[in-house]
Structure 1
Amino acid sequence: MKKILAGLFFISGIVFMLACDDGIDYEKLRREELANLKTYIDQVHPGAEPTASGLYYFNEEGTGEGDTIKLGDQVQIYYATWLLYVVDEEIDSILIDQTSGYLDGHRYEPYRFIPGAGNSIAGLEEGITYMQPGSRSKLVINSELAYGQRGSNDGSVGMFKTLIMEVEVYKVIPIEIPEE
């Protein structure tokens, strides 16, 4: 009886694995993304080094003042986001999102979030901690820090896509640490 049950579990496991094979070579897609990211960095920001997590950030000179933003601070930002594409060593990008007319010079309601709370993609949450109130930065966010293998829920970002974000910090409300 034990041999029959073990055999059934083994067969059901194989059937499950075959049913889950969707024919997508995820490793190939990830390698292509990393090659595109390298091409972009080599051409646009030669010599740039990522953070330990793989994030690239480029702060604009002369913007921002005060302390850098901390995890737990409430921030209000304006941003625009592009998908990075490289075709035959030619860099291209597609605008997929912008808040409050950021690129058009309009300022309406900024995007609000708390870095570290997990309400935004990890690359934005990390990148904001290198910024100061009033600063502007470009963040180059690989898929591991964005939407990864699954892509975005709304379908605007496919699997293994690098994002480029231009971010402007509008306002910071520092975290209040209670005195003991």
Structure 2
Amino acid sequence: MNRPLILAAAAALAAIALLYSTLLRSTAPPPPLKVEDLAPGSGRPAEKGDTVSVHYVGRLQDGKEFDNSRKKGKPLVFILGVGSVIKGWDQGMVGMKPGGRRRLVIPPHLAYGEQGTPGGPIPPNATLIFEVEMLKVEPAKPIR
């Protein structure tokens, strides 16, 4: 047997396998945001540009709680759809009505991605699970 030839063939096969696995990862679509309504709420649904007030509990997939607005003693208030929160929230809260509750299962690319929260509670590539309660929806103010 020709040892150098066998080693070269093995190296070529390993390179092809690496290239193939890289192509598979790069062409596979990322997992979608999952939205489950737990309670419908009533009133005007939230739209992009509205100021919303929410209570929430955030957990990792293993169930470990990493954030809870009720424990902080106040809801989170933000403008929906302008990038002041993670993309999964901007997308997953559109259409919620005051009093409504939702479970959002947010894949990494719509949360904190490959970096997670350095030094914080969210590891790299973490899928996050939030239970959110919409407290208030204030319509966007028209530009004059």
Range class of TM-score, shorter chain: 0.7 to 0.9
Q: CA deviation at 1:109?
A: 1.6
Separation in structure 2 between the aligned mates of residue 111 and residue 96 of structure 1, nearest angstrom: 15
Indicate yes or no: 2:61 matched with 1:100: no
Distance in 2 of aligned mates of 1:125 and 1:152:
19
Q: CA RMSD in A?
A: 2.5
- Say whether residues 1:135 and 2:112 are aligned partners: no
| Cross-structure match for 1:57 | 35
Per mean C-alpha deviation after superposition, the further-off stretch among 117-126 and 93-102 is 93-102
The one-letter amino acid of 2:95's match is: Y
- Say whether residues 1:79 and 2:69 are aligned partners: no
**Would you say the 8 A contact 2:57–2:69 is kept in 1?**
yes
SS class of match (1:165):
strand
Aligned runs of 1:22-41 on 2, under 5 Å?
Answer: none
Q: Percent identity?
A: 35
Q: How does 1:1-180 map to 2 (within 5 A)?
A: 54-61=32-39, 63-84=40-61, 92-101=62-71, 108-178=73-143
The alpha-carbon deviation at position 100 of structure 1 amounts to 2.0
| Change in CA separation of 1:153 and 1:117 when aligned onto 2, cut-off 3 Å | farther
- Whether the 8 Å contact between 2:45 and 2:95 is mirrored in structure 1 is yes
Segments of structure 2 that go 5 or more residues without pairing to the other structure are 1-20
Q: Aligned residue for 1:37? A: none
In 2: Cα distance, 1:131 partner to 1:153 partner = 31
Supply the distance in 2 between the matched residues of 1:115 and 1:153 (Cα, whole angstroms).
25
Q: Secondary structure at the match of 2:122?
A: coil
Give TM-score, length-normalised by structure 1: 0.59
Q: CA deviation at 1:128?
A: 0.8
Unaligned runs of 5+ in 1: 1-26, 32-51, 85-91, 103-107
Distance in 2 (CA, whole Å) between partners of 1:165 and 1:135 is 14
CA contact (8 A) 2:44 2:137 kept: no
**Contact 2:35/2:103 (<8 A) preserved:** yes
3-state secondary structure, aligned to 1:113: strand
| Counterparts of 1:136 and 1:154, CA distance in 2 | 30
Partner Cα distance (2:119, 2:76) in 1? 18
